[in-house]
């Protein structure tokens, strides 16, 4: 469970970073992100530990420290990136198209060029586009490792509290006794790194066709689940009074909103 949490978080960070230019954020963007993170954090309030749970916390902390030794999450992220995230990123890497997209404002999917044409035009915008992306992508493993190292103390604390909450004293005694055995020590040391073994990665890739089939029918399932609901209405389908109400609330005129919608429809 712990491995899945960290791999999922790291994967999300990797995809988010890969989808944007590697540039420093402005102060306003940083403040906006901090505000958003604080808001998200407030969505998950936690109850304080009871006295009984507090009494179990030191033992739970010892167990989690054995399961997540210092620096282990960073090491896990490095091996996960090498085995899974790195190859996936490389498979979808198209530096010429990315350079063209940034230079023209188009999306990669809107650029219908063969590789030779894309490379020729990309060099007009950035003669060193391939080397630039290579160096940028080389930063990701170190960045992901650093992220995990920052998260590790906080997550170790959270997992310790969860063990104190969810396991009785007798269960914690059994768990700690196991981790003090040679087999338990080996399990604690290897359990993270095994998550990025090629066997796990290969098994995940084998399920991709079935996963894609499941998502392919999602629109139809949504349509069936909402078939008895009233149809959505566009701005043009609202009554004059409703249009005026929306316009006043948004600070635009009815004509402005209609013009913006027509402009979007024509693009």
The CA-CA-CA angle for residues 170, 189, 187, to 5°, reads 50
Mean pLDDT, to the nearest integer, of 50-58?
97
3-state helix, strand, coil in the chain (%, to 5): 80, 0, 20
Structure tokens at 138: 């080389």
Average the pLDDT over 130-134 and give the result.
Answer: 76
**106-136 burial string, b = 16+ CB within 10 Å, else e?**
eeeeebeeeeeebbebbeeebeebbeebeee
Percent of the chain with pLDDT over 70: 78
Quick check: 20 pLDDT over 70? Answer: no
Give the per-residue pLDDT at 80. 62
- Summarised one tens digit per residue, pLDDT across range 81-103 is 665 555 555 554 567 777 787 77
Q: Indicate left, alpha or beta for 236 from its phi (over 0: left) and psi (-120 to 50: alpha).
A: alpha
pLDDT of residue 36: 76
Distance set, CA 148 to CA 11, 74, 85, 199, 262 (Å): 12, 5, 15, 23, 47
Residues 174-211: tens digit of each pLDDT: 999 999 999 998 888 787 667 667 787 677 778 878 87
What pTM was estimated for this model as a whole?
0.57
* pLDDT tops 80 at residue 144: no
DSSP character string of 40-103? HHHTS--PPPPHHHHHHHHHHHHHHHHHS-TTHHHHHHHHHIIIIIHHHHHHT--HHHHHHHHH
Is residue 243's pLDDT more than 70?
Answer: yes
Q: What distance separates the 2 farthest-apart alpha carbons in the chain? A: 76
224 is written with which tokens? Answer: 């069936």
Contact (CB, 8 A) for 102 and 122: no
């Amino acid at each position: 469970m712990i491995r899945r949490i960290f791999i999922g978080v790291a994967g999300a960070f990797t995809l988010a970073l890969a989808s944007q230019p590697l540039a420093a954020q402005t102060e306003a963007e940083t403040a906006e992100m901090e505000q958003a993170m604080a808001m998200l954090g407030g969505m998950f309030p936690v109850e304080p530990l009871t006295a009984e749970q507090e009494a179990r916390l030191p033992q739970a902390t010892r167990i989690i420290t054995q399961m997540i030794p210092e620096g282990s999450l960073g090491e896990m992220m490095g091996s996960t990136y090498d085995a899974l995230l790195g190859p996936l990123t490389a498979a979808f890497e198209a530096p010429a198209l990315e350079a063209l997209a940034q230079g023209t404002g188009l999306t990669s999917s809107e650029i219908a060029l063969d590789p030779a044409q894309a490379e020729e035009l990309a060099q007009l915008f950035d003669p060193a586009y391939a080397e630039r992306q290579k160096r940028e992508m080389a930063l990701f493993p170190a960045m992901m490792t650093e992220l995990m190292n920052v998260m590790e103390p906080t997550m170790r604390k959270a997992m310790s509290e969860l063990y104190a909450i969810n396991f009785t004293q007798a269960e914690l005694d059994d768990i700690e006794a196991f981790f003090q055995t040679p087999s338990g020590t080996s399990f604690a040391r290897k359990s993270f790194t095994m998550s990025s073994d090629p066997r796990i990665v290969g098994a995940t890739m084998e399920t991709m066709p079935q996963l894609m089939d499941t998502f392919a029918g999602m629109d139809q399932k949504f349509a069936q689940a909402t078939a008895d609901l009233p149809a959505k209405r566009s701005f043009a389908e609202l009554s004059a009074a409703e249009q005026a109400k929306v316009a006043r609330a948004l600070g635009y005129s009815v004509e402005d909103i209609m013009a913006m919608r027509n402009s979007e429809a024509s693009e």
